[in-house]
Structure 1
Amino acid sequence: MSAPKSDPKSNDEGQLRRKTITGYCNPISARPGQRLDFKVCSYEDGPYEADLVRVTGGDSSPDGVGVLEAVVKAPFAQSYAGRSYEGRFQAIHRGSHGSVDAQVALAELHSFTLQAMICPTLPGARRQVIMGRGWDDPGAGFALLLDETGALALRVGEDQGRQLMLSTNVPLRRGQWAFVAASYDSASGQARLVQRPLATGPGDQVISDPVERSETLVSGLGLGAAAAPFQFAAGGGERATAHFNGKIDRPRLANRALTDAEMAAASGPGIAETLTNDILGCWDFAADISTDRITDLSRHGLHGEVINLPTRGVTGHNWDGSEHNWRHAPEQYGAIHFHHDDLYDAGWETDFTYTVPDDLPSGVYAARLHHGDDVDRIPFFVLPPKGEARADVAWLVPTASYMAYANTRQRLQPNLIFGAGHPEWVNDAFLARHEEVGGSLYDNHDDRSGIHYSSRLRPVMNMKPGDNRPWGLPADLNILAWLDHIDQPVDIITDEELHTEGAGLLQPYRCVMTGSHPEYHSTAMLDGIERYLSQGGRLMYLGGNGFYWRIAFHDDKPGVIEVRRAEDGTRAWMSPVGEYYQSFNGEYGGLWRRNGRPPNQLVGIGFAAQGFEYSSPYERQAGADDPRAAFALAGIGAGPIGNFGSIGNGAAGEEIDRWDTRDGTPAHALVLARADDFGDDMLRTKEDFLSTMPHFNDPNVRADMVFFECPHGGGVFATGSIAWISSLAHNGYENNVAQITGNVLTRFLDPAPFPPPPKSI
Structure 2
Amino acid sequence: MLNIVGYSDKHSVTPGETVTFHVSSSESESYSADIVRLIHGDTNPEGPGYKEEEIAKTSDKEYPGRPQEIHIGSYAIVPHDPHFDVSSFSMQAMVFPTTPEKGVQGIMGTWAEEDGTGYSMVVEEDGSLGLWINGENGVAKVSSGKPMLKRVWYQVAATYDAETGEINLIQIPTPTSTNAGIGMLLVHPIEESLAVVKFTKRVGAPKKGTAPFIMGALTKKTLSGRFIFGAHYKEAKEPIALPVQSHTYNGKIDRPRLAGLALGRGDIDALVRGVRACNSTLRGQVIAAWDFQANIGKAIASTKIIDTSQSGLDGFTVNMPSRGMTGYNWTGDEISFRHAPEEYGAIHFHDDDIDDARWSPDFSWTIPDDLPSGIYAARLRIGGVSSSDTEDYIPFFVRPPKGTTTADVALIVPICSYLAYSNDNLATDAVIAELLRGAVPLMQVSDLHMNQHREYGLSLYSVHSDGSGVFYSSRLRPILNMRPKYRHWLSPSLWQFNADLHLTDWMETKGFKFDIHTDADLEREGVGLLNKYKVVLTGTHPEYVSEKMIEAFANYQHSGGRFMYVGGDGFYWCTSFHPDNENIIEVRKGEAGNRAYNTDPGEYSQAFDGGFGGMWRARGRAPSKLCGLTFAAYGFDVSSYYRRMPEGNLPECSWIFDGIGEDEVIGDFGLVGGGAAGLEIDRYAADVGTPHQVYVLARSEGHGDLMQQVNEEILHYARGYWGGGDENPMVRADMIYYKTANGGASWAPGSLTWCGSLSHNDYDNNVSRITENVLRGFIEEVELP
TM range (shorter): over 0.9
Q: How does 1:571-586 map to 2 (within 5 A)?
A: 571-586=595-610
1:411 equivalent among 427, 430, 437:
427
The residue type paired with residue 456 of structure 1 is: R
The residue type paired with residue 159 of structure 1 is: E
Q: For residues 546 and 103 of structure 1, do their structure 2 counterparts lie closer, same or farther at Cα, with a shift above 3 Å needed?
A: same
Q: For residues 203 and 240 of structure 1, do their structure 2 counterparts lie closer, same or farther at Cα, with a shift above 3 Å needed?
A: closer
Distance apart, 1:138 and its partner CA: 6.2
Q: For residues 423 and 224 of structure 1, do their structure 2 counterparts lie closer, same or farther at Cα, with a shift above 3 Å needed?
A: farther
Tell me the distance in 2 between the aligned counterparts of 1:134 and 1:531.
Answer: 55
Tell me the distance in 2 between the aligned counterparts of 1:511 and 1:579.
Answer: 39
C-alpha contact 2:327 2:344 (8 A) present in aligned 1: yes
Structure 1 residue aligned with 2:158: 182
The residue type paired with residue 92 of structure 1 is: I
Structure 1 residue aligned with 2:782: 752
C-alpha contact 1:23 1:39 (8 A) present in aligned 2: yes
Tell me the distance in 1 between the aligned counterparts of 2:185 and 2:376.
Answer: 61
Q: How does 1:591-630 map to 2 (within 5 A)?
A: 591-630=615-654
Is 1:173 the counterpart of 2:149? The answer is yes
C-alpha distance after superposition, 1:597-656 (max 9, x if no partner): 110000000100100011100110112112222221122112310001111101000000
Structure 2 residue aligned with 1:44: 27
C-alpha contact 2:33 2:62 (8 A) present in aligned 1: yes
Q: How does 1:397-408 map to 2 (within 5 A)?
A: 397-408=413-424
C-alpha contact 1:47 1:85 (8 A) present in aligned 2: yes
182-191 or 58-67: which moved more? 58-67
Q: How does 1:259-338 map to 2 (within 5 A)?
A: 259-274=264-279, 275-288=282-295, 289-338=300-349
TM-score of the pair, normalised by structure 2: 0.91
Structure 1 residue aligned with 2:550: 526
C-alpha distance after superposition, 1:113-153 (max 9, x if no partner): 11111110111212101000033256421111011111100
Structure 2 residue aligned with 1:449: 468
Equivalent pairs counted in the alignment come to 730
Secondary structure of the residue aligned to 1:85 is: coil
The residue type paired with residue 246 of structure 2 is: T
Distance apart, 1:62 and its partner CA: 4.7
Tell me the distance in 1 between the aligned counterparts of 2:714 and 2:96.
Answer: 34
Tell me the distance in 2 between the aligned counterparts of 1:380 and 1:101.
Answer: 35
C-alpha contact 2:671 2:756 (8 A) present in aligned 1: yes
Tell me the distance in 1 between the aligned counterparts of 2:332 and 2:397.
Answer: 45
Is 1:146 the counterpart of 2:123? The answer is yes
Which structure 2 segments of 5+ residues have no match? Answer: 178-183, 223-242, 489-493
Q: For residues 394 and 203 of structure 1, do their structure 2 counterparts lie closer, same or farther at Cα, with a shift above 3 Å needed?
A: closer
Tell me the distance in 1 between the aligned counterparts of 2:439 and 2:378.
Answer: 30
416-425 or 477-486: which moved more? 416-425
Distance apart, 1:106 and its partner CA: 1.4
C-alpha contact 1:520 1:549 (8 A) present in aligned 2: yes
466-475 or 82-91: which moved more? 466-475
Distance apart, 1:398 and its partner CA: 0.6
Structure 2 residue aligned with 1:223: 206
Is 1:483 the counterpart of 2:517? The answer is no
2:408 equivalent among 366, 387, 392:
392
What CA RMSD, in Å, does the superposition of the two structures yield over aligned residues?
A: 1.5
Q: For residues 200 and 66 of structure 1, do their structure 2 counterparts lie closer, same or farther at Cα, with a shift above 3 Å needed?
A: farther
Distance apart, 1:577 and its partner CA: 1.2
Q: For residues 449 and 61 of structure 1, do their structure 2 counterparts lie closer, same or farther at Cα, with a shift above 3 Å needed?
A: farther
Secondary structure of the residue aligned to 1:572 is: coil
Structure 2 residue aligned with 1:119: 96
Structure 2 residue aligned with 1:164: 140
Q: For residues 567 and 287 of structure 1, do their structure 2 counterparts lie closer, same or farther at Cα, with a shift above 3 Å needed?
A: farther
Q: How does 1:455-474 map to 2 (within 5 A)?
A: 455-469=474-488, 470-474=494-498
Which structure 1 segments of 5+ residues have no match? Answer: 1-17, 756-761
Distance apart, 1:45 and its partner CA: 3.6
Structure 2 residue aligned with 1:679: 704
C-alpha contact 2:644 2:697 (8 A) present in aligned 1: yes
Secondary structure of the residue aligned to 1:559 is: strand
Tell me the distance in 2 between the aligned counterparts of 1:243 and 1:251.
Answer: 16
Structure 2 residue aligned with 1:650: 675
Structure 2 residue aligned with 1:200: 176
Distance apart, 1:418 and its partner CA: 3.3
1:348 equivalent among 356, 359, 362:
359
Q: For residues 429 and 423 of structure 1, do their structure 2 counterparts lie closer, same or farther at Cα, with a shift above 3 Å needed?
A: farther
Structure 2 residue aligned with 1:8: none
Tell me the distance in 2 between the aligned counterparts of 1:120 and 1:64.
Answer: 52
625-634 or 170-179: which moved more? 625-634
The residue type paired with residue 661 of structure 1 is: A
Tell me the distance in 1 between the aligned counterparts of 2:185 and 2:252.
Answer: 23
Structure 2 residue aligned with 1:549: 573
C-alpha contact 2:520 2:582 (8 A) present in aligned 1: no
Tell me the distance in 2 between the aligned counterparts of 1:143 and 1:175.
Answer: 22
Tell me the distance in 2 between the aligned counterparts of 1:738 and 1:91.
Answer: 46
Structure 1 residue aligned with 2:685: 660
The residue type paired with residue 76 of structure 2 is: G
296-305 or 409-418: which moved more? 409-418
C-alpha contact 1:40 1:348 (8 A) present in aligned 2: yes
The residue type paired with residue 422 of structure 2 is: A
Is 1:106 the counterpart of 2:84? The answer is yes
C-alpha contact 2:337 2:343 (8 A) present in aligned 1: yes
The residue type paired with residue 674 of structure 2 is: N
132-141 or 396-405: which moved more? 132-141
C-alpha distance after superposition, 1:332-390 (max 9, x if no partner): 11000001110010011111101111100000011111113422111110000222110
Structure 2 residue aligned with 1:504: 528
Distance apart, 1:689 and its partner CA: 1.4
612-621 or 566-575: which moved more? 566-575
27-36 or 65-74: which moved more? 65-74
* Identity over aligned pairs, percent: 42
Secondary structure of the residue aligned to 1:656 is: strand
The residue type paired with residue 156 of structure 1 is: I
180-189 or 367-376: which moved more? 367-376
Secondary structure of the residue aligned to 2:551 is: helix
The residue type paired with residue 46 of structure 2 is: D
603-612 or 192-201: which moved more? 192-201
Structure 1 residue aligned with 2:260: 255
Structure 2 residue aligned with 1:430: 449
Is 1:714 the counterpart of 2:725? The answer is no
Distance apart, 1:690 and its partner CA: 1.3
Secondary structure of the residue aligned to 1:611 is: strand
C-alpha contact 1:604 1:665 (8 A) present in aligned 2: yes
The residue type paired with residue 106 of structure 2 is: V
C-alpha distance after superposition, 1:658-687 (max 9, x if no partner): 001110000101100001321111110000
Tell me the distance in 1 between the aligned counterparts of 2:538 and 2:205.
Answer: 63
The residue type paired with residue 83 of structure 2 is: A
Tell me the distance in 1 between the aligned counterparts of 2:440 and 2:111.
Answer: 43
Distance apart, 1:437 and its partner CA: 0.6
Tell me the distance in 1 between the aligned counterparts of 2:33 and 2:339.
Answer: 52
Q: For residues 411 and 137 of structure 1, do their structure 2 counterparts lie closer, same or farther at Cα, with a shift above 3 Å needed?
A: closer
